[in-house]
Amino acid sequence: AAGGAAAAEAAAGGEPSAGVMQRHGIPIAMWTAVSLNVAAFFSQGDEGVQILFHLEEFEAPLLSPDTPQERLTERLERVARGAPLNDSLKLALAQSAGLSGRLIDIALGAEPNASQTARNHAAKVVEYICASPPAALLLLERGEHARLVRAVADPDAALYLRKTFAAALCSMAALPEAVPLLAAEGAVGALHAAQASSQAVRRKKVEVALGRLAAAIAARP
C-alpha cells in the first residue's frame, strides 16, 4: 500500500514527499543525491547541466591568470554553449566569488592571456548571466553594471563587445530595481550612442529598453 502511495504521488507529477521518503526509510540527503545523479544521467547532452555539476572544474581555470590561452578559450566556449538555456547555471556563475568580475575583465581585454575568441565568449556569458533576473541583481548589487555602461559608451570599444554588453544592459533594464541604478550611470546616453554608432549595433531590444528607462526616469519625482 505504501508503495502504491508513492507511485500515485509520482504519477501525479510530483516528487515523493518527505513523509513518503521517511516511511520508506530514505534520508532526504540520499534522495537529493540520487535525484541529482539521475538528472545528470538523463541530460548527458545538456552542456549547461554538465557544467553545473562540475562547476569547480570551470571556476578555477577562469579565475586563474595562469591558465594557458587554449584552455581558457575552451572553458569559456563550453560555458557560453551551456549557459543560454540554463538559469541555474547563470545564477551559479553570478554567485561564484569574483567570477562575474573576472568575465568582464576578460571581455574588456584586461587579461593579456585571453584570445579575441575568449574575450567574445566572456562577453556573451555576461550577457547570458544578465538574462537571469536573480543573477542580474547580484551584478547590480556589486556595481558591475557601471562597467558595462562604460564599455557600451566607449566609441573605441569593439563593436561585438558594445553590442553584447548593450544586450546585457537591456536585460537589466527590465528589472524595476535596476532602472535608477542604470540611469545614474548614464545607461540611457550609452545605449543611445551605441544605437547611433553603427547599424550593426542597432537592435529593437535596445529601443524597448531605452523607452522603458526614459519612462521610468520621467516618472520619478
2 in Cβ contact with 24 (< 8 Å): yes
pLDDT at 198: 72
CA gap 87, 93 in Å, rounded: 10
154 in Cβ contact with 194 (< 8 Å): no
Longest alpha-carbon distance in the chain? 71
pLDDT along the chain (221 residues), means of 10: 46 44 49 50 66 95 96 97 94 96 97 96 98 97 97 93 93 91 91 78 71 72 62
CA gap 28, 51 in Å, rounded: 24
pLDDT at 122: 98
pTM: 0.76
Instruction: Pick left, alpha or beta for residue 130 (phi over 0 → left; psi -120 to 50 → alpha; otherwise beta).
Output: alpha
Q: What is the phi/psi pair of residue 142, to 5°? A: -85, -5
pLDDT at 7: 44
pLDDT at 168: 95
pLDDT at 23: 46
CA gap 14, 49 in Å, rounded: 21
> Of all residues in the chain, what percent are helix, strand and coil, respectively (each to 5)?
70, 0, 30
pLDDT at 220: 67
pLDDT at 98: 96
Per-residue cell: 140: 547590480
Per-residue cell: 165: 554588453
CA gap 32, 63 in Å, rounded: 29
CA gap 191, 97 in Å, rounded: 29
Q: What is the phi/psi pair of residue 188, to 5°? A: -60, -50
